Structure 1
């Protein structure tokens, strides 16, 4: 005995394509309506957005009309508030019926050998002409909109099955399947290894993604494992026929009768085996067509149906089955194109989290996978950390969720400024963000872009600080920028990708961001970045000044710390002469001329907090450099 069949709810509207089949979860309430997610019957305006609650208990479905439902629920010809629906019964809302059935699609390996097996090459399919193309073309015209608007893969498969049945009048059932190759022989994923068409053992799992059939009262659907695997392996459409009369009515084409096994007589076209099989399965033929994605089978469409007593398809002549296979091939080709587009859109959506539109356009001109490979490049790295979060957490201990939303807004400001300047959003670490320039495409002005992004972030936070009730109120930032060679690249899967960069400039930018707390300034940059600003950026875009030469905690190298400043304005605290005095003071300090440095530092405005660092250091040492002075201050913490 096999496992019991699944209990499904089948929705059917006025039009044949207004239909779906869903397996009901046992013991879990679900809401059904016109806008109820998976359980939506969007085609019927008489159904409310959320109309009824469904609860499956064994083989019975409890239906309860919700208070917000505008129209009645009919069961057994009467309007009801609640109903207990048994298998085979239905309830009606508006112009849509909902039928409860116990059916399942289960792949089976016990199909007899087909009396006719036909392969369809692309050349062969091109020679087949539709006798009555209008209906099939009308169905194909709906395919793009139907599939592209599907929110999930399951919904796409459901709509695909409906379209196949709508365009194939000879088909009684259809399914979308996927084959997963096993890593080793034997059983895998619940499917036992079975012989394929060549007689070899094939350990592969076949998953039925979605299926449906026309007759509500028919039993389970049993797609042929052999046909699916052969289609998958040969990568072309195949047709199997189990009724011998079809041969006598001219349906042969380029196919061949199935050979008998060695030592056995040829099977009788109308033998007892086929009579029992077709009566039990309600099918006399089945066709399967692969759907390719990037040259590899992704899904396959399976359709099956019966023949009339004279061996011809129900809709007419024997040639109709070949037309059905051609229709399947057209559906598969169009679906493959839509899947490819969907994959590209999804991939672009993933990349758009990290890359600006400018970079995305550049990627579109080449091979994205090659361009995104990790490699060593010159990059400019920006680290931006949020300050004031701990204090705001204490103040808003009873409103942490609104505080989290405010933090999200601050991260949006950081990423927006990075992306606006053509940067790559590399990572989030709590309430900090990292961006970088110079990969995946080279950017000669990457340093300028990083500086403009940093100044834009500073400007937004300073502007927001003037509003006590804004999302950024109470927050400020510390930013570090460094330039140099590093390794950058994409890691992860197409759907769950991450871009990263590592190397000396990453570590230095992170250290500079931390050192902003020591100097009490918003933005610090390394010497390579500062030199670029001095030589290649106009004062109307950005300014810089030296603050000190330090040896960061845990590092042996000396680092000249520079501050990045916005252009001079009427209310700017620091004028150009102040920047010159500060540079001269740092040079004098590094060279051991501390009295001169002390005097220059005292010329700076009292409102300049950065000058306090050197002034206090000089004062603590009585204005005299220590023995063996090398010009750098060793910091005792990060």
Structure 2
């Protein structure tokens, strides 16, 4: 495992960060993950780094004021091997490729002290100088943190400051190896700031995390060489373990070890170490609480991308159950931007500005969905899928889908969308039916989305907005639901025909919204009936009298021309579509 260790040569400030292969990051005074706030000679963004699994690639950012020294010479870019270091200002950066020893079994301690966390909090410090100030400083620093790694760094450093005879401190996280629960070190610090911890006691960790108590072990001063273990080899003769619950239900533990405590006044060794347990528990509980809060804020931020505050108000404390996949009656909206692929090719030399422009347009769509209490289900390149009916029933906002669609149409296509000379900027398909919605995915990744027939149908219907030349289309199930609402005026929807869409076996009646009093729409409806009944000559006569900008008129005429305007004997009244 590779880590970057940063150390201020003028003070005790430092941090270490685990490196992820092929994941670039920025080093600087104000970067979120790798901040070097103590050194004013380091620019806000000073260097771009990437760990390739073997070496650390380092490149100075052109705007950075001060040089990067490697091998006592200023460098613009270079490769760093494990064990080597570079310097910016008065800060040294060391690349380490080491792994702390995993918890190991060993013999029983000379003394064991087990205390419940609530009992620790009720007791007073026997010796307080400096510790209250450190706890106050801890809270101030932690609440200002914006990153979980920063929280860990602060907690470990404050533990070393507050327990003078502590040599090493580790944060362990629980993981599952089959049915076996193991604890692995994910972060550590040492008194000298460089050394890798020598190990930890498996029995001590198991005792503390199983009992949910703070446990202290003290080993004999001079162990029998025949039974000596890593604790004495590492020069440690005491260790304590504080169980924690961090992030979201993540079991963890603080493991602190060191050399014999110096006796003061009439305090015994165990009494001094009990003071240390209290300090460690207070630091650990503060860290754990802020860690969970940060994780909840991050989850809330992620959920805000999919849900409106109104929907989030329904979320109980058991969010997993609330978001679990379940079958529901959904109304699904599928909206696709027009000309995205062609525009991407045209803007190959300016993809970032093109992306920003596309994002602005997509924001119009997502804002309309969220404003109507819908859920953002997925993004498919330049397309957005939203739905209603989960996690709350569609009866909570039965018109949300059509109101969101109409807002998008008015913004991107204009109100005269039935008969327009200007191509629409987006196409919208709406379908209703039973589907599964919730947190859906694989073992590695999950997301809030919907799965089922109305999702596929909404996508297919959206595809029909191109040949029909109308940006908003609905299926008959959606129209039936919407038209049954008391506030919906009669004849709100205009039927455009029966289609068997690509990849689907059942025919679909497709509708659009009647956007106003258009004199010739009844004539189109009459021509559609004649077309479906097989009276094509009469249908053609009526359709030819309609405006050429009306897309459904053109599609019907083109379809009949494909049969030389002669209705086939097998005609069922349904138009077959073989392409999406």
Q: Same fold per TM (> 0.5)? A: yes
Equivalent position of 1:350 in the other structure: 302
Query: 1:6 & 1:100 partners in 2: Cα distance?
Result: 7
Rate the CA distance shift 1:92–1:427 in 2: closer, same or farther, 3 A.
closer
Query: 2:237 & 2:121 partners in 1: Cα distance?
Result: 25
Q: Secondary structure at the match of 1:439?
A: coil
Equivalent position of 2:367 in the other structure: 416
Flag structure 1 segments of 5+ consecutive residues without an equivalent: 185-202, 245-268, 464-472, 569-574
Equivalent position of 1:551 in the other structure: 500
TM-score normalised according to structure 1 size: 0.72
TM-score normalised according to structure 2 size: 0.78
* Pair member with larger Rg: 1
User: Aligned pair 1:478/2:446, yes or no?
Assistant: no
User: Aligned pair 1:362/2:284, yes or no?
Assistant: no
| Displacement of 1:385 | 2.3
User: Aligned pair 1:372/2:323, yes or no?
Assistant: yes
User: Aligned pair 1:508/2:485, yes or no?
Assistant: no
User: Aligned pair 1:289/2:242, yes or no?
Assistant: yes
Rate the CA distance shift 1:297–1:426 in 2: closer, same or farther, 3 A.
closer
Query: 2:325 & 2:67 partners in 1: Cα distance?
Result: 61
Q: Choose the corresponding residue for 1:527, options 462, 466, 476.
A: 476
Q: Choose the corresponding residue for 1:612, options 541, 548, 554.
A: 554
Q: Secondary structure at the match of 1:577?
A: coil
| Displacement of 1:52 | 8.7
Equivalent position of 1:249 in the other structure: none
User: Aligned pair 1:325/2:277, yes or no?
Assistant: yes
| Displacement of 1:380 | 0.7
Equivalent position of 1:194 in the other structure: none
1:278-326 per-residue CA deviation (whole Å, 9 max, x = no partner) reads 8853433211111125996622111223335xx6269965422112112
User: Aligned pair 1:440/2:382, yes or no?
Assistant: no
| Displacement of 1:22 | 5.9
Query: 1:240 & 1:490 partners in 2: Cα distance?
Result: 44
| Displacement of 1:345 | 2.4
Q: Is the 8 A contact 1:307 1:313 kept in 2?
A: no
Q: Secondary structure at the match of 1:457?
A: helix
Q: Secondary structure at the match of 2:294?
A: helix
1:415-461 per-residue CA deviation (whole Å, 9 max, x = no partner) reads 33222322222223333222211111112265522122222222333
Rate the CA distance shift 1:438–1:144 in 2: closer, same or farther, 3 A.
farther
| Displacement of 1:481 | 0.9
Rate the CA distance shift 1:143–1:220 in 2: closer, same or farther, 3 A.
closer
Equivalent position of 2:413 in the other structure: 462
Q: Choose the corresponding residue for 2:254, options 290, 293, 301.
A: 301
Rate the CA distance shift 1:541–1:522 in 2: closer, same or farther, 3 A.
farther
Equivalent position of 1:199 in the other structure: none
Q: Is the 8 A contact 1:103 1:221 kept in 2?
A: no
Query: 2:49 & 2:504 partners in 1: Cα distance?
Result: 65
Equivalent position of 1:427 in the other structure: 378
Query: 1:237 & 1:579 partners in 2: Cα distance?
Result: 78
Query: 2:191 & 2:248 partners in 1: Cα distance?
Result: 32
Equivalent position of 1:43 in the other structure: 38
Query: 1:54 & 1:514 partners in 2: Cα distance?
Result: 44
User: Aligned pair 1:117/2:112, yes or no?
Assistant: yes
Rate the CA distance shift 1:73–1:140 in 2: closer, same or farther, 3 A.
same
Query: 2:63 & 2:350 partners in 1: Cα distance?
Result: 33
Query: 1:233 & 1:423 partners in 2: Cα distance?
Result: 44
Equivalent position of 1:228 in the other structure: 205
